[in-house]
Amino acid sequence: MGGFALDILIAFLVRISIRAVNLLRSWTWPVVKATVVSARPKDGCLAEIYYRYSLDGESYADVYKKAFCVVDAGDYTRRFERGDELKVRVKPDDPSVFVLEDPGWPHRGQRPKR
């Protein structure tokens, strides 16, 4: 395996590990409804899903980024429309700390066309 491919694999594994730890630690946190603001591919290999949620009169916003190596990120982002609902797990004593539950495939009940 070439050095560049190995770097990509290591970065992918680190990203998945961090996400898994975040999801595990937030498992007991309350779920809050978030709303998609927009979704777009970036450079064909990165999907960006912008979303927001409100809790106790405060608004919060973030962007969920998901990298793709084989599938075009546009196939993923086309599954999202403004106003779609997502789930966010919010830390009870600090609502600025949250974890978006991965919307994953299939969002909107569809799989990407190949």
pTM above 0.95, yes or no: no
Residues paired with residue 90 on neighbouring β-strands, in sequence order: 98
Number of H helices, E strands in the chain: 2, 5
In the chain, alpha helices (H): 3-25, 73-77
Identify the pLDDT of residue 112.
Answer: 38
Per-10-residue mean pLDDT for the chain, 114 residues long? 61 63 70 93 86 91 82 83 90 84 54 36
Identify the pLDDT of residue 93.
Answer: 87
Identify the pLDDT of residue 34.
Answer: 93
Identify the pLDDT of residue 71.
Answer: 72
CA-CA distance, 50 to 77, in Å (whole number)?
A: 10
Identify the pLDDT of residue 113.
Answer: 38
Identify the pLDDT of residue 19.
Answer: 58
